[in-house]
Amino acid sequence: MKLGAHMSIAGGLARALQRGAMLGCNTVQIFTKNANQWRAKPLSPAVIAAFLQAKAVSAIDPVIAHDSYLINLASPDDQIFQKSLHACHMEMERCECLQIPFLVMHPGAHKGKGEEEGIRRIVQALDHLHARTDEFRLKLTLETTAGQGTAIGYRFEQLAQILARVQKPDRLAICLDTAHIFAAGYDIRTPAAYQATLKAFDQTIGLERLAVIHLNDSQKPLGSRIDRHAHIGQGYIGKEGFVQIVRDPRLAHIPMILETPKEDDADRRNLALLRKLAQQQT
């Protein structure tokens, strides 16, 4: 099982890997820069070398990156759209330098212009980014969203449309966030509900596209379209839903990342619970 958590890069990128290793993670997710700012200091050769060295001496593989929350590739505002393109390209370059294979991103929010127009913008942006990074191994990884506000990506069909319309769909992957899909209305609380949701994902998007899973319980009920993460087993999904996922052999090779609140050594507890759920006999 590939199990880890989102790790802070306070004190340097390499520190995130050390923090993950301390928790027994064999995968982690990081921001490669401050997620609340557009700009970033370029990565120096020394920083890159320290990161690759820390990764080499750890059992962590793969490292996943998540992009800045400011980026909106569906923005109807031309200035924000251009800024987002530029920032996303910069993040792609950082990931490629750090040998990170997947950069998770939310598809975008249409801000009232409608889902069709939002998806058109996203497709245009992804084609542009792919053309500028033709030699990259990195895959932009579109995350399922809760559908809060005008966010796109809360229906599997919306992600499927993006995949169908970009020029290079093989340069994209998908990240499934359990709290987001649940808030969006996809139930996973019982074996039957989980199987139906996974089947819908497979038939609409294709399980072969699934590259990353975010394991979060939800503070808000099914279909609420509100994005609030809870500790594993302490939200509306509950332990049984996570049992389905961590014991599904079809997902056994996919990195699973916690993005739950961090207070009081919570990562250690959530990781221990997930390991227990994965091993328990039924």
Binding residues for Zn ion (CB under 5 A): 143, 177, 214, 259
Distance in Å, CB of 214 to Zn ion, minimum: 4
Distance in Å, CB of 72 to Zn ion, minimum: 13
- Give the C-alpha separation, 198 to 214, whole Å: 15
Tell me if 51 sits within 8 A of 13, measured CB to CB. yes
Distance in Å, CB of 168 to Zn ion, minimum: 22
Residue closer to Zn ion by CB (options 54, 74) is 74
Closest CA to 177 of 233, 258, 236, 251: 258
Closest CA to 136 of 88, 83, 99: 99
What's 46's DSSP letter? H
Tell me if 176 sits within 8 A of 183, measured CB to CB. no
Distance in Å, CB of 44 to Zn ion, minimum: 27
Distance in Å, CB of 118 to Zn ion, minimum: 17
Q: What is the DSSP string of 170-234?
A: GGEEEEEEHHHHHHTT---SSHHHHHHHHHHHHHHT-GGGEEEEEE-EESS-TT-----EE-TTS
- Give the C-alpha separation, 103 to 138, whole Å: 7
Distance in Å, CB of 115 to Zn ion, minimum: 19
Residue closer to Zn ion by CB (options 171, 229) is 229
Residue closer to Zn ion by CB (options 115, 177) is 177
Residue closer to Zn ion by CB (options 54, 94) is 94
How far are the Cα atoms of 49, 83, 213, 233 from residue 141, in angstroms, in the given order?
25, 19, 11, 26
Residue closer to Zn ion by CB (options 240, 259) is 259
- Give the C-alpha separation, 227 to 43, whole Å: 32
- Peptide bond between residue 249 and the one before it cis (omega within 30 degrees of 0): no
Residue closer to Zn ion by CB (options 119, 174) is 174
Closest CA to 161 of 126, 212, 111: 126
In the structure encoding, which two tokens stand for residue 223, read together? Answer: 């279909």
Distance in Å, CB of 169 to Zn ion, minimum: 21
Residue closer to Zn ion by CB (options 121, 180) is 180
Sign of the CA dihedral running 228, 229, 231, 232: positive
Distance in Å, CB of 143 to Zn ion, minimum: 5
Residue closer to Zn ion by CB (options 2, 214) is 214
